[in-house]
Structure 1
Amino acid sequence: MSMSDDDRPVRKVTHEIGCDLSMLSADELASRIALLKEEISRLEEEVTRKGKSRSAAEQLFR
C-alpha cells in the first residue's frame, strides 16, 4: 500500500544558522525569515521576563 501525500507526516520547518541557502526557494526563505522573527520575539520576551524577575529580587533584598 502506498501512502498519499496527505498521509505523510508534515516536516517542521527548521533553520540551522550558517546553512547553505542556495537550494531554497524564495517561499522557503520567507518561511525561515518568519520562523526566525518569531523566535527573536520569543527570546526578547524571555529577556524582559527575566529582567523583571531580577528587579523584583533586587527590590526584595534592598
Structure 2
Amino acid sequence: MAEEPAEIRRGRGQALIDLAREDLELYGVGELEERIEALQAEIARSRAQMQRKQAGRAAADALFSKRD
C-alpha cells in the first residue's frame, strides 16, 4: 500500500500573504463586505492574543523584577 505524500507545511503568515494577493475584481459587493467582516474578526482575534501575551509578560516581569 502506497503512502500518501505529506502535505507541504506553509510558512507562518503565508495565508495572509496569499489573501493579500487575491484578485478582488472577482468579488461582488456582498462578498467584499463578508470579506471585510472576516478580516475585522481576525484583527480582533489577533489583538486579543496580543493582549494575553502582554499580560503574561507583565506578570512575569512583576514576578522576576528586582525588588529594592
Query: Structure 2: how far apart are the matches of 1:46 and 1:28?
Result: 27
| Number of aligned residue pairs | 48
Q: Which runs of 5+ in 2 are unaligned?
A: 1-17
- Say which SS state the counterpart of residue 45 (structure 1) adopts: helix
**CA displacement 1:1-48 (0-9 Å, x = unmatched):** xxxxxxxxxxxxxx8112101011000000000000000000000000
Tell me the equivalent position of 2:55.
Answer: 52
Tell me the equivalent position of 1:41.
Answer: 44
**Bigger shift: residues 27-36 or 15-24:** 15-24
What TM-score do the two structures reach when normalised by structure 2? 0.67
Structure (1 or 2) with the greater helix fraction:
2
Q: Which has the higher contact order (CA 8 A, sep 6+)?
A: 1
Show structure 1 runs of 4+ deviating over 4 A: none
Q: Which runs of 5+ in 1 are unaligned?
A: 1-14
CA-atom RMSD, angstroms? 1.2
State percent identity of aligned pairs.
Answer: 35
Tell me the equivalent position of 2:9.
Answer: none
